[in-house]
Structure 1
């Protein structure tokens, strides 16, 4: 009547979701009462939503919470589906575009920078997501600060590893941090830049050549490492220059990450 297979009936019995009205001690044959059809229907419906056995049991044992549990499960499914859709778009873009590094010239710019404090190392997925959220928040704060000061920004903010001085190098290598800096190129008068609050650094970046690559999809540790590998393998470069990935800068876009590293003379 419920189109449940013997395997499903045995499983639901073992999990306590649908206990038979009677079990023959000699044959192990399960018998069910007609009144159990409704419970079987509910179990089937909830399992068809992808709900776990644990949540199904909670819904059956606590009917007053059933609607809330189903709503929570629905929200989680939508979150997972959004993540899957994003991954599908990124995989399709990656397979079609076959991203390759390209060399380009970056003009001299005035840059406003701020350290990002409190980010973890990113040793696992949770730490990486925490760090990403902190860096994104710091970028938003920097953009908001410039807007309030009436300073025009030129393009998107970017992030870079905090490896710009021996002291920063030491703190990164020792695992102390901060590990990241957020920056944005600006067009502003000296007076406007001088009026920026403490903790904001104004830098003059000279013109230089850089190697850039756009990788579609969400910014992950695997994507970050793949980007570095592709930049290191970038061609053509003569024997006197190399791609300095220690100075990698990254712009986060809605559909991917633009990563660039300067092309520099090899140390003698």
Structure 2
């Protein structure tokens, strides 16, 4: 029999790791002294320790390692599943690294701009969740993206010409809509496409779409690299609110934010309102 220190040295593990494996039921000592609690191991347990180390070195969780050891016939399938999970994590980490580098490199700044008047076609996005957590936010993003793609397709089928990128905005355009959004009834979002075309083409749009005249306005805008997230959405609101004093006591209306989704990030803009 080997003491825990001797067995740990032989297997290139630490005694602490062996105690942890014992507690998790992965590698139970051949004997435990009832009086002292000292663990001892049989030489035959070296193979079990080797298998555990192989699997743990892949990044497998203790739970998956236990499954692989308890059911050796499933070990290869479990390894394949774990490899797929690792690949997904690598892709997600690469995207996160790129997004972090882009934000720190760009140091997003608030900039003023003027938006000319334009005609827009708008549609409500129905059945989006409130976005109270990351899962709901992702669901809402997917639904808004799908509604935007469908609206663009409807505009093009009607023979209208797009005059810029589509955008999304909270459905806060009338007091009645405000109450539905604030009360959590929805729909919460509108998607809009700036267009030009004949009156006949506008009249040919499917029922349920809105045709609006968007007046010219001054805005403050900020471009945030990477995909849209709750934290980034909150950050751009803070930066817009803290952009500094505006001429003549003007105000930034963050309730009427609009967001354009670009391939490499999100451009968020808020109208600048005159004082009073």
Task: Work out whether the TM-score is over 0.5.
Answer: yes
CA drift at 1:26: 5.2
Q: Tell whether 2:82 aligns with 1:73.
A: yes
Q: Deviations for 1:180-204, whole angstroms, at most 9, x for unmatched residues?
A: 1111112222211211111211111
CA drift at 1:236: 5.4
Q: Deviations for 1:215-235, whole angstroms, at most 9, x for unmatched residues?
A: 123312221111111111224
Output the CA distance in 1 between the equivalents of 2:47 and 2:196: 69
What pairs with 1:11-30 in structure 2 (closer than 5 Å)? 11-25=20-34, 28-30=38-40
Unaligned stretches of 5+ residues in structure 1: none
**CA 67–140 in structure 1, closer or farther in 2 if over 3 Å, else same:** farther
Output the CA distance in 1 between the equivalents of 2:33 and 2:261: 64
Contact 1:108 1:208 in 2 (8 A): yes
Output the CA distance in 1 between the equivalents of 2:18 and 2:184: 54
Unaligned stretches of 5+ residues in structure 2: 1-9
- Paired position in structure 1 for 2:50: 41
**CA 50–246 in structure 1, closer or farther in 2 if over 3 Å, else same:** same
Output the CA distance in 1 between the equivalents of 2:166 and 2:76: 43
- Paired position in structure 1 for 2:254: 245
What pairs with 1:78-93 in structure 2 (closer than 5 Å)? 78-93=87-102
* RMSD (Å), alpha carbons: 1.9
Output the CA distance in 2 between the equivalents of 1:142 and 1:173: 25
Output the CA distance in 1 between the equivalents of 2:263 and 2:47: 47
What is the TM-score of this pair, normalised by structure 1?
0.91
1:155 alignment partner, SS class: coil
Output the CA distance in 2 between the equivalents of 1:163 and 1:69: 50
Q: Tell whether 2:41 aligns with 1:31.
A: yes
Q: Deviations for 1:55-95, whole angstroms, at most 9, x for unmatched residues?
A: 11111122233233222222222222222222222222222
What pairs with 1:1-268 in structure 2 (closer than 5 Å)? 1-25=10-34, 28-34=38-44, 36-235=45-244, 237-267=246-276
